[in-house]
Amino acid sequence: MPLYGLSILEMRHLIECTFLPIRCKCTLAGTGSPALSIQIISLVDNCTELLIAIIDINSLNTSRDIANLVAEIKYELHNKTPLHPILTSLSKQRSHL
């Protein structure tokens, strides 16, 4: 069960707000186990800066899990070096929305 007492909508909002002023869009994906897709969008050209396709919501059990995920994504954005296997398996996609 993901983060006791926190709905998926609240979790999405929390993650999206941590990237402000950068635009972040979280969407629910997957048909089986609930999964989250996170898209970081450039403010300059409105293109996708980074796309993390599948994050198992069940792996986000605590606020520390969410904070660690956000820290890994921010590190990836800043240094262009993946830390997490999910981030390693996905290449940056620069496509217009």
Mean pLDDT along residues 16-24: 92
**Do 94 and 47 touch, CB atoms closer than 8 A?**
yes
Residue 58 DSSP SS3: helix
- pLDDT of 81 reads 58
Summarised one tens digit per residue, pLDDT across range 28-79 is 876 667 888 999 998 888 888 888 887 888 888 888 989 999 999 998 888 8
Structure tokens at 5: 């007492």
Residue 1 DSSP SS3: coil
Is this model's pTM higher than 0.85 or not? no
Rounded CA separation 34/23 (Å):
23
